[in-house]
Amino acid sequence: MTAEIEALTSGADGPYFEGLKAGEIRVQKCAGCSEIHWPAVFRCPDCGSWEHVWQTVSPEGRIFSWTRTWHAFGGPAAHKPPFVSVVVSLLDADHVRLIGTLDRPDAAVAIGARVRADITEVDFLDRKIPTLIWSLV
Ligand SMILES: [Zn+2]
């Protein structure tokens, strides 16, 4: 495991980042009450269980929110403006919303549009950061 991914996997959401490295989106499901939590938690706020399982879900969702950025502000070099940032509700767990960018900065974006994620990495501050690049479907 690289130092970069090791730093990302030290919190409650560590298995999420391990999933991205394996090419999967994984969400945290409580072993006690089966509630899906996002952001991930150490202890279930619904039933109090400390036990969780990580379920692989489809990399598909609907755009919940979006914005088009026209000016650079110091993010990853791969995100040259203009680019579109999106918040996506997953089809398999619609209260789980993940952030990423659209593959096409000129896309006709709409709330509710179906998208599919490509899991990749971007370089940022000498680190490889797992990221989701969404495409309209
Ligand atoms: Zn629970």
Domains and CATH numbers, the chain: 1-57 (no CATH), 59-137 (2.40.50)
Percent of the chain scoring above 70 in pLDDT: 93
Answer yes or no: is pLDDT of 5 > 80: no
pLDDT band at 74 (very low <50, low <70, confident <90, very high): confident
C-alpha distances (whole Å) from 125 to each of 4, 74, 122 are 11, 10, 10
**Both structure tokens of 6:** 């090791």
- Whether 38 has a pLDDT exceeding 70, the answer reads yes
Kindly give the distance from the C-alpha atom of residue 28 to the centroid of ligand 1, in angstroms, as a whole number. Answer: 11
Q: pLDDT value at position 2?
A: 56
Per the listing, tokens 């509630």 go with: 35
pLDDT of amino acid 86: 97
Section 49-54 average pLDDT: 97
Is the link from the previous residue into 39 a cis peptide, with omega within 30 of 0? yes
Report how far ligand 1's centroid is from the alpha carbon of 27 (Å): 14
80 pLDDT more than 80: yes
Question: Cα(31) to centroid of ligand 1, in Å?
Answer: 6
> Tokens standing for 96?
């789980």
How far apart, in whole angstroms, are the C-alpha atoms of residue 62 and residue 104? 16
**With 90 as the cut, is the pLDDT of residue 9 above it?**
no
Q: Could you tell me the distance, in angstroms and rounded to a whole number, from the CA of residue 69 to the centre of ligand 1?
A: 38
What is the per-residue pLDDT for 124?
85
Joined together, the tokens standing for residue 79 give 């995100």
pTM of the model: 0.88
CA of 46 to the centre of ligand 1 (A): 5
